[in-house]
Amino acid sequence: MKLKISLVVLLGASSLFASSELVTKAKNAGLEPIPSSKPELMKLIDDKKDPITDAKVELGKKLYFDPRLSRSNLISCNTCHNLGLGGADGVPAAIGHGWTANPHHLNSPTVYNSVFFKAQFWDGRSPHLADQAQGPVQAGPEMAAPPALVEERINSIPAYVDEFKNAYGKDVKVDFAKITETIATFEKTLVTPSRFDKFLSGDSKALTKEEQEGLTTFIDKGCTACHTGIALGGTMQPFQVAQQYKFTNVGDFKGDKNGMVKTPTLRNITETAPYFHNGQIWSLNDAVKEMGSVQLGITITDADAAKIVTFLKALKGDKPAIVYPQLPESTDKTPKPSFD
């Protein structure tokens, strides 16, 4: 009996040591956990010049879901970044105003955890969420609403004006920048901590043995060269480093002026198919193998791809509870929708 107990203790200690070594290995590879404490998280996502408050978040949520920010009154931020679908839309290329597919055949990236991205958009042209939020609202193939129209719509609704005053003070100017900044404030709160974060923070039992094996394979294969940091992505990286992506000719997107492409986050990756900038691969296993070829110049076997995917499934996080808001009524002064 004593021998059995000793063996159990030794095996447990060995497992704990192995997990501790893997945590160190992961952190050395640049992987970071979402902080478990709210004060530590706020240090990462808050802006002292425009602090996150409950009033701003609630107002930003309403604006995020409000289709009146689009020319047609049909498309909201949530249309392409659906919070019930992993923060994406589940189609290869985003569909916008007039049932128009994105002219570059670009896939909608998830909005969850986007506050941790170092750059926004596939070509990284926006440095932060407030700037990013302005783009889709104005873009012809997306929401197609000029800033002046958005300002007129929101200012024509007294309940919205009152909410802006409550959130920012009575002298607030409800202009396009303030409207999109408020949407970004809501988006900052869309953080999804997972069991992976608990593991990196010291809970050795948060990941199963198979998930830890997948994490080891993920690191050993070199995936952390691009998928690193808190977001496991979100930085600008060269694309098609070793081989040509098999669907490179679908759409005309080639990255920024230097051929760099924003690396997608791997958090909640099981919810955000199809994959790649042009949404051409639906299987996560196939996406892993394609990345091995295109970026690393290696062949990732079916067995190793399955191990990595087992780990990636552990990145599915806890979503914040979102109650669909009741939006304030339009008035006789609210500009009518148009579909041209």
pTM of the model: 0.93
For residue 261, which phi and psi values (nearest 5 degrees)? -130, 140
Annotated binding site: 77, 80-81, 97, 223, 226-227, 291
| pLDDT for 7 | 46
CATH of domain 46-188: 1.10.760.10
Question: How many Å apart are CA 48 and CA 208, to the nearest integer?
Answer: 39
Contacts of 24 (CB under 8 A, 6+ apart): none
How is residue 63 written in tokens?
A: 């604006």
> Cα angle vertex 136, ends 132, 140, to 5°?
145
Active site residues: 142
Annotated binding site for heme c: 77, 80-81, 97, 223, 226-227, 291
**Of the candidates 243, 202, 219, which has an alpha carbon nearest to the alpha carbon of residue 307?**
219
Low-confidence ranges of the chain (pLDDT < 50): 7, 10-11
| pLDDT for 4 | 57
| pLDDT for 340 | 85
8 Å CB contact between 294 and 261: no
Question: How many Å apart are CA 31 and CA 42, to the nearest integer?
Answer: 19
| pLDDT for 319 | 97
Question: How many Å apart are CA 71 and CA 142, to the nearest integer?
Answer: 10
DSSP lists the bridge partners of residue 237 as 261
| pLDDT for 17 | 58
CA 31: distance to chain centroid? 16
**Of the candidates 123, 121, 117, which has an alpha carbon nearest to the alpha carbon of residue 134?**
121
Q: Is the previous residue joined to 274 through a cis bond, with omega within 30 degrees of 0? A: yes
For residue 146, which phi and psi values (nearest 5 degrees)? -60, 150
Question: How many Å apart are CA 286 and CA 272, to the nearest integer?
Answer: 14
What are the pLDDT digits (tens) for 64-103? 999 999 999 999 999 999 999 999 999 999 999 999 999 9
| pLDDT for 169 | 97
The SS3 assignment for 41 reads: helix
The superfamily CATH assigns to domain 193-313 is Cytochrome c-like domain (1.10.760.10)
How is residue 322 written in tokens?
A: 């979102």
Q: Where are the domains of the chain?
A: 46-188, 193-313
The SS3 assignment for 333 reads: coil
**Of the candidates 273, 238, 192, 209, which has an alpha carbon nearest to the alpha carbon of residue 11?**
209
